[in-house]
C-alpha cells in the first residue's frame, strides 16, 4: 500500500503548501499522492517531484453540482496538471436512485481522463451499504476500480470504516479501497496493519510519518 496526503483546510496558503511540498512531502518516499482542492493543483504539480501524483477534489464535499459543472471542473483540473481526480459521488442522484444519471456523470468524467485515474468518494456514514454496493457496481462496470468510502468531512470511526470496506470488498474482489478514516495512534495503526487497503490517506504528515515508522518496525 502507498500513502496519500490530503489537505482541505480553507486557511491553507500558497506559501504553506509550497513549504510542505519542498520540505516534507518530496522527502517522504512513501507518500505517492497529494490530494488537493482545485485552487492548488497547478502550484502543487509544479513543485512535486516526478514520482508523486497530484489529485484534484471535484465537487467536494457534498456532490451537489450538476453533471456538466462537475465535468467542467474535472477538465479544468486536468488542464492545470492534475494526474488524477477524486470525484465526490453525485449524492442527490444516489439518494433518489437515479442510476442512469450516475452513469451519465461517469461517462462525462471519462471523456477527460483514463478511468484508472478516477476515484469516486463515497459516504458510508450517510448511505446504506447496499446503496454503496450499487454505486460500486456502476463504477466497476465503467472501468473505475478505486473508491474512497468516506469524504472525511463528517465525524468518522476507523472500526466502522473497516466494516464498510470489508462489506464492499466482500462483494468486489477487484475494488481498490483507499482508507480515509481518522487514525492517529498505535492501536489504530495495528487495526490498519494487515488490512488490504490500496492506499492510506491522512491530512496529517506527522501521522503518516508515524505510520511509516510503525509499519517498518512491524515488519522486522
| Centroid of chain to Cα 87 | 8
Interatomic CA distance for residues 213 and 72, integer angstroms:
40
pLDDT at 110: 95
| 30 touches 208 (CB < 8 A) | yes
pLDDT along the chain (220 residues), means of 10: 94 98 96 98 98 98 95 96 97 95 97 94 93 96 97 90 96 97 95 93 96 83
Q: Tell me phi and psi for residue 39, to 5 degrees.
A: -55, -35
pLDDT at 217: 83
CATH class of 2-218: alpha beta
pLDDT at 121: 98
pTM attached to this predicted model: 0.96
pLDDT at 219: 66
Peptide bond into 61 cis (omega under 30): yes
Amino acid at each position: 500500500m502507498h500513502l496519500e496526503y490530503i489537505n482541505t483546510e480553507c486557511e491553507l496558503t500558497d506559501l504553506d503548501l509550497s513549504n510542505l511540498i519542498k520540505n516534507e512531502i518530496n522527502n517522504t518516499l512513501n507518500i505517492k499522492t497529494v490530494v488537493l482542492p482545485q485552487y492548488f493543483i497547478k502550484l502543487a504539480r509544479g513543485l512535486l517531484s516526478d514520482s508523486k501524483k497530484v489529485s484534484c477534489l471535484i465537487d467536494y464535499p457534498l456532490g451537489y453540482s450538476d453533471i456538466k459543472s462537475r465535468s467542467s471542473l474535472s477538465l479544468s483540473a486536468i488542464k492545470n496538471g492534475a494526474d488524477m481526480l477524486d470525484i465526490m459521488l453525485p449524492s442527490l442522484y444516489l439518494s433518489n436512485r437515479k442510476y442512469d444519471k450516475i452513469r451519465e456523470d461517469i461517462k462525462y468524467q471519462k471523456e477527460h481522463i483514463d478511468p484508472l485515474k478516477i476515484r469516486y468518494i463515497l459516504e458510508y456514514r450517510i448511505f446504506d451499504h447496499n446503496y454503496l454496493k450499487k454505486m460500486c457496481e456502476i463504477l466497476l462496470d465503467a472501468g473505475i476500480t478505486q473508491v474512497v468510502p468516506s469524504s472525511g468531512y463528517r465525524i468518522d470511526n476507523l472500526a466502522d470504516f473497516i466494516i464498510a470496506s470489508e462489506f464492499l470488498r466482500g462483494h468486489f474482489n477487484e475494488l481498490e479501497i483507499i482508507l480515509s478514516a481518522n487514525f492517529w495512534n498505535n492501536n489504530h495503526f495495528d487495526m490498519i496493519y494487515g488490512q488490504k487497503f490500496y492506499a492510506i490517506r491522512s491530512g496529517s504528515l506527522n501521522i503518516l510519518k508515524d505510520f511509516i515508522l510503525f509499519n517498518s518496525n512491524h515488519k522486522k
